Structure 1
Amino acid sequence: MFLKTLTVTVAVVNLLFTSSVNAETQSTVSDGPYIHYGKDTLEATWICNNLVVKSSFKHDQATQEIAHCDLAAVINKTNFDLPIIEYKGDFKIAAMSDFHGQYALTTKILKANNIIDESLNWAFGNGHFVITGDVFDRGDKVTELLWLLYKLEQQAEQAGGKLHLLLGNHEVMVLNGDLRYLHPKYHTVSELLDVDFNELFSNETILGRWLRSKPVLVKINNMIFAHGGFHPTIATKDKSLNEINETFKDNLVKTELASERAGFGKFLHKTNGPIWYRGYFKDDGATDDEINLLLTHFDVSHLVVGHTSQQQIETRYQGKVIAIDSSIKNGQYGEILLVNKNSFMRGTPEGKKVPLALSAL
């Protein structure tokens, strides 16, 4: 059980716009919390109808819930070590991708398919739920989605399950200050807080450290998950999953590196790396032999990826590649992949289960 909302002293700062603030940043917004580490406290900041609200509190409990203007976060004693990236077991698996700030549609799909309950709590038991990246950008409910996943990750652990949030290209872009795809709301947030948006996810924040702890891939039973996928040359380089993940993470945020990305680290962050690769969906992309080479190298039967949008969950290469970016980013429709032993289903926003054809398209 989570604790009731934490009572804190709140300081409200009125902000006056000047003529230099452009029209895009003049809409009324609410957002947060953004939580920074202080010397002995945590410092939380919200925006409530264009007013900045700040509070300080000690994080001396296993679980605390803080909230203001209906924007809540459940804070846990989170372990930010690199997670395990290979799992085997007899449990159900679910996977989605590319939420892009679409909170309403995402939660609708999750509730309809029994991943969460009506109160937005974990309901998937000992199941493993994978999100192959791109929570950020385009939509206007990114912060709400991040705190929801942060909470669900802890609840899944308590239930014997797992939530795996993988890094997508938009997570990496935001962490590196590439803010081209932000929803206008977040430009307003940046203006109101007088800080570059990516600094709200610095290594001195809870969400920033949490995101930096996330892997770029995970292997579960006979499937490997990543945002974009794996270029066939990765198999020829004879790189293990741990080598790929650790090298990618060692080169994550440019401004935090001692030197520029080079070699394999640079390769992983470029077009053919695991967050950008689209070769499974191009006419001149990976061949059947190259797909088989990857499957053999990683000892899996399926590559499960997002990044390249489809109208629904689809397959390629006789079902060896499963494409789970079902265009949730548009806010109109999306699906969740549901796997139970040898059963593969597409879950709809209404909870309908449609068999996934593991054949070439």
Structure 2
Amino acid sequence: MKMKSVALVISMTLLCVHVHAIAQIKPGNITVAMNNNSAGSNDSIQANFAPITPIGTRLEWNSYKQKLSGGKATWIYKTAQYVYIVLPFLTGPNQFWVAEPGDSIIISINNHNVQFSGKSADLFNLQHELFSIKEKMKAPTKEPILIYPLTAAQYFEWISWLDEYEQRFTGLINSYEGRVSKGMLTFLKERYLDRIVTRFEDLFTKLERFAKKDSLQTITKNDLSVIYDSTIAHKINKWFPYTTDGFVGEWSIFKKSIARKYNFQFDKDPLNSETKRKMLYYEKGLSLYKNKPLSRQQFLARFLVEDMMHDVKFGPELKEMLDKYYAEPGYPKYKAYVKEYETKGRKVRTGKRPSEFILTDTEGKVFSSEQLKGKIVLIDFWFTGCLGCVELTPVLKKIENEFADTNIVFLSISADKEKAKWLKSIKEKKYTTGQGINLYTNGKGMDDIMLYDFGINSYPTLFLLDDQFRIVENPLPNPRRDDGKYLIELIRRQRAEMNDGPYVFYGKDATTSYSFNSSEVVVKSFKDVMPQFPVQTDGKKIFNVQLKDELKIEESEFSRPEKLFVLSDIEGNFMALRNLLQSNKIIDENYNWTFGNGHLVFNGDMFDRGDQVTECLWLIYSLEEQAKAAGGYVHFILGNHEIMNLSGRDSYVKPKYKDNAAKLGKTYSELFSSDTELGRWLRTKNIIEKIGDLLFVHAGISPEVNELKLSVKQMNDLARPYYDKDSVARKSTDKSLALLYNTENSLSPFWYRLYYLESERKITMGGDKGGYDTLYKTPSAIIDQVLENYQVSKIITGHTIVEPNNTLSVQYNNRVINTDTPHANGISEGLLIVGKNFYRVNDKGQQNFLFSDSSQSENISVRLPTK
């Protein structure tokens, strides 16, 4: 057999969720001996072993490297469990062998041919044959990715294919009875069957996702029920529960039986409630595993962790489930696993919404969390007698006074059970400020469900919620350590993120601007003059913007200046943009241009994900005229997120922008239409520019785009009319235009990513064979061709964060530079070019020398576009 075909393929994803409890296994050694005639005398080989444990979601790998002696090596691994083994001379990524204590295998490799011998040869030959089954079976059609519809015909083709696959591997495993241990045969049979179950569930989900009541997709909800009854229902009864007590496998398939019970009506009660659905799944699981105690524990532990704590808030339903679970006798390891996750989960996570709550104020009136929607809220949890609360009170008072005339809500929640004690402490202002809104738990104290939901186990504890009722940051740094400075700045940033605009619209008779100041909409109209208006920042300061007299399409090529500053992928993070520009002396603290005759290049993706997109856009807009006046220039290269937003695709847009558009009686896409100043301005920008010997493009030039032999200007001119209708461009019969907007294979200049693969090739979902595609890193020769085609020495991109360092990086022997870094995660960097020298700089102004470009001419000049 050939080396490349010897493997038991088990998806790492599946491994992380499929756990197998192997009971009553006698401890022993697993021996793996190798004899490789083609290996070099100095070669070292690493074998990896991972015990298969009944609980937990991660495999713990033990690696052992040995230097070959005469092409031979032996590994002895002591264990009391079944074990996964990765052998690099046999398998590729995510391919595993399985063995049990007492197994001994000799692997002989001669001219890339592999033979198994020894006590466990039958087990390893079986695994090889199991892998080969799928290779020998021709799949009926290319399996669609989940986002695309699956027709009923395709579904039934795949069901038939899976039925045959099941028959083949079951028959093969049965043929090894008497040669491989009964326990191992059961393990393999259930493992492969579980992979079948996963595929069935995946296929039906594809079908289910695109079912429409109005029959637009030809599959109705009633059709789904019929298809389920004929293809899935009897299989669930046949497969579940698995024979081995302790092997739960992929239980998502039996959730379909709950959906079937309610005719797949996810828009109606009870399926339209996530909590109610989970409760139905919970009851189903308890019923299913009632006669298998170890499987029942497996199910409970995984369900509570994966389905409830991960997806559902810590409300009364989950509390009741956990209380019942912990009260059951036995299984301490399972309970410790659940408890550990609960402890982590109850520390309410940043960006998550806590459960709704209802408490009582000092006047006995009901106060609901509904009253906090659309407001920034600081919650202080305290109790009478809390010494830390005494220390915090003066700091809290300072913070409350700082925002006294704003719409910030200060919520004080006491864990006191006695109402009289609570009211007395409020008046004394010792443990709390006595200001803001004071709430009482109606005698429940620390047992109140609201405190449980917030995970309160120490006092004082503070939570900051944004206007969308989401946790801003948890845990918050202790305000006592810096006299509240950090928390004050954090609240200011949250206030700034509630602001938006201005959006300047051109009408027949007047120009109108709309600005959002917290929840207030400020409207101004202008007739004969181009207005100037203030724009909010992430702090106290503002900057003023003067509308331009005229907007002109940018030129595509420029001479290279003495100095350039390049950044990309800010994605609405004004603080990151400000810090990078100010710390590197591009602008001063008042947002004035200080970079002289240098050029600032923003290399795409100012939109999406962040809360201050418009502020970022207006800052770049305002700097353009200042830069020109100083002999400098500002370039804005459009990225994929600019094109998406101009075309009305808003899947990454923060909710506040859609809400604000609705308040104006407009759709989100209208905010940047050709009737607006920002919309018109963005349409003057390019998707690619050449500055001297440097090529700037958001994502990269694919080999296919390079073959078009379009000049930089031709590319911009061809793409520009379709900035706001990219779907039309993608379907165009003009192959050049369609290629510039290609997203299916990410060949577009603002979508391409293959410069930055970690390895020479990468396996991804979606291919013809087994549902995978192979992507190949752009060869160095292609980079040379692009450089030659555009007569440049370097390509500078954004778009792709390069792991593992996530920093600005240099590729292809200094010929490609990537400027995308995760600004929102605190890694904010840019590229500074001064003469021949290239520097990586950060948001503190620190410079790291990258390289010196010996090819750069001594004569560097600046040429601005003619008006």
2:749 corresponds, among 268, 274, 282, to 274
Alignment-derived partner of residue 644 in structure 2: 173
Alignment-derived partner of residue 626 in structure 2: 155
Whether the aligned pair in 2 keeps the contact of 1:76 and 1:154 (CA below 8 Å) is no
Three-state SS of the structure 1 residue aligned to 2:515 is: strand
AA aligned to 1:326 is T
AA aligned to 2:798 is G
Where in structure 1 are there 5+ consecutive unaligned residues? 1-20
After alignment, is 28-37 or 106-115 more displaced?
A: 28-37
The yes-or-no answer on 1:264 pairing with 2:736 is yes
Q: CA deviation digits over 1:307-348, x for unaligned, max 9?
A: 0013211011111110000222x2412111000121000111
Structure 1 distance, partners of 2:558, 2:644, is 28
Structure 2 distance, partners of 1:206, 1:50, is 23
1:249 corresponds, among 716, 720, 729, to 720
Three-state SS of the structure 2 residue aligned to 1:185 is: helix
Q: Which has the higher contact order (CA 8 A, sep 6+)?
A: 1
The yes-or-no answer on 1:319 pairing with 2:814 is yes
Structure 1 distance, partners of 2:835, 2:517, is 46
Structure 2 distance, partners of 1:186, 1:194, is 12
Structure 2 distance, partners of 1:232, 1:47, is 45
Write out aligned runs for 1:269-308 (5 A): 269-270=741-742, 271-282=746-757, 283=760, 284-308=776-800
Q: CA deviation digits over 1:269-306, x for unaligned, max 9?
A: 11201110111012312101100000001011100000
Whether the aligned pair in 2 keeps the contact of 1:102 and 1:331 (CA below 8 Å) is no
Report the aligned-residue RMSD: 2.7
The yes-or-no answer on 1:47 pairing with 2:516 is yes
AA aligned to 1:67 is P
> How big is the shift at 1:73?
5.0
The yes-or-no answer on 1:57 pairing with 2:526 is yes
Structure 1 distance, partners of 2:736, 2:607, is 26
> How big is the shift at 1:183?
1.7
Whether the aligned pair in 2 keeps the contact of 1:302 and 1:321 (CA below 8 Å) is yes
AA aligned to 1:60 is V
Cα distance change of structure 1 residues 31 and 123 upon mapping to structure 2, 3 Å threshold: same
AA aligned to 1:34 is Y
Q: CA deviation digits over 1:185-205, x for unaligned, max 9?
A: 223323322322111000000
Structure 2 distance, partners of 1:197, 1:358, is 45
Three-state SS of the structure 2 residue aligned to 1:146 is: helix
After alignment, is 249-258 or 176-185 more displaced?
A: 249-258
Three-state SS of the structure 2 residue aligned to 1:137 is: coil
Residue correspondences, number: 337
Structure 1 distance, partners of 2:624, 2:520, is 30
Alignment-derived partner of residue 15 in structure 1: none
Bigger Rg over Cα: 2
Cα distance change of structure 1 residues 239 and 259 upon mapping to structure 2, 3 Å threshold: closer
Cα distance change of structure 1 residues 305 and 259 upon mapping to structure 2, 3 Å threshold: closer
Cα distance change of structure 1 residues 351 and 22 upon mapping to structure 2, 3 Å threshold: closer
Alignment-derived partner of residue 346 in structure 1: 840
Alignment-derived partner of residue 502 in structure 2: 33
Q: CA deviation digits over 1:158-217, x for unaligned, max 9?
A: 111110011100011011111000123223323322322111000000000000110001
AA aligned to 1:303 is I
> How big is the shift at 1:68?
7.8
Cα distance change of structure 1 residues 73 and 195 upon mapping to structure 2, 3 Å threshold: farther
Alignment-derived partner of residue 3 in structure 1: none
Whether the aligned pair in 1 keeps the contact of 2:532 and 2:545 (CA below 8 Å) is yes
Alignment-derived partner of residue 830 in structure 2: 336
Where in structure 2 are there 5+ consecutive unaligned residues? 1-372, 376-465, 470-494, 761-775, 854-867
Alignment-derived partner of residue 9 in structure 1: none
> How big is the shift at 1:259?
11
Whether the aligned pair in 1 keeps the contact of 2:572 and 2:606 (CA below 8 Å) is yes
Q: What TM-score comes out, normalization by structure 1 length?
A: 0.86
Structure 1 distance, partners of 2:641, 2:696, is 17
Cα distance change of structure 1 residues 78 and 337 upon mapping to structure 2, 3 Å threshold: farther
After alignment, is 203-212 or 305-314 more displaced?
A: 305-314
Alignment-derived partner of residue 10 in structure 1: none
Alignment-derived partner of residue 654 in structure 2: 183
Alignment-derived partner of residue 164 in structure 1: 635
Structure 2 distance, partners of 1:257, 1:279, is 25
> How big is the shift at 1:57?
1.3
Three-state SS of the structure 2 residue aligned to 1:339 is: strand
Q: CA deviation digits over 1:43-70, x for unaligned, max 9?
A: 0111222222211013525xx4213888
Cα distance change of structure 1 residues 291 and 200 upon mapping to structure 2, 3 Å threshold: same
AA aligned to 1:127 is G
AA aligned to 1:301 is S
Cα distance change of structure 1 residues 278 and 257 upon mapping to structure 2, 3 Å threshold: closer
AA aligned to 1:268 is L
AA aligned to 1:269 is Y
Structure 2 distance, partners of 1:39, 1:256, is 30
Whether the aligned pair in 2 keeps the contact of 1:50 and 1:192 (CA below 8 Å) is no
AA aligned to 1:348 is N
Cα distance change of structure 1 residues 166 and 234 upon mapping to structure 2, 3 Å threshold: same
| Structure with the higher fraction of residues in helix conformation | 2
Structure 2 distance, partners of 1:79, 1:351, is 35
Alignment-derived partner of residue 534 in structure 2: 67
Whether the aligned pair in 2 keeps the contact of 1:26 and 1:188 (CA below 8 Å) is no
Write out aligned runs for 1:18-29 (5 A): 29=498
Q: CA deviation digits over 1:95-122, x for unaligned, max 9?
A: 0000001101110111010111111111
Cα distance change of structure 1 residues 149 and 162 upon mapping to structure 2, 3 Å threshold: same
Structure 2 distance, partners of 1:246, 1:68, is 32
Alignment-derived partner of residue 59 in structure 2: none
AA aligned to 1:267 is L
Structure 1 distance, partners of 2:788, 2:729, is 36
> How big is the shift at 1:258?
11
Structure 2 distance, partners of 1:257, 1:95, is 31
Structure 2 distance, partners of 1:99, 1:200, is 20
Structure 2 distance, partners of 1:291, 1:304, is 12
Three-state SS of the structure 1 residue aligned to 2:587 is: coil
Cα distance change of structure 1 residues 50 and 339 upon mapping to structure 2, 3 Å threshold: same
> How big is the shift at 1:243?
1.1
Structure 1 distance, partners of 2:662, 2:509, is 28
Structure 1 distance, partners of 2:838, 2:549, is 32
Whether the aligned pair in 2 keeps the contact of 1:315 and 1:357 (CA below 8 Å) is no
Alignment-derived partner of residue 135 in structure 1: 606
Whether the aligned pair in 2 keeps the contact of 1:31 and 1:71 (CA below 8 Å) is no
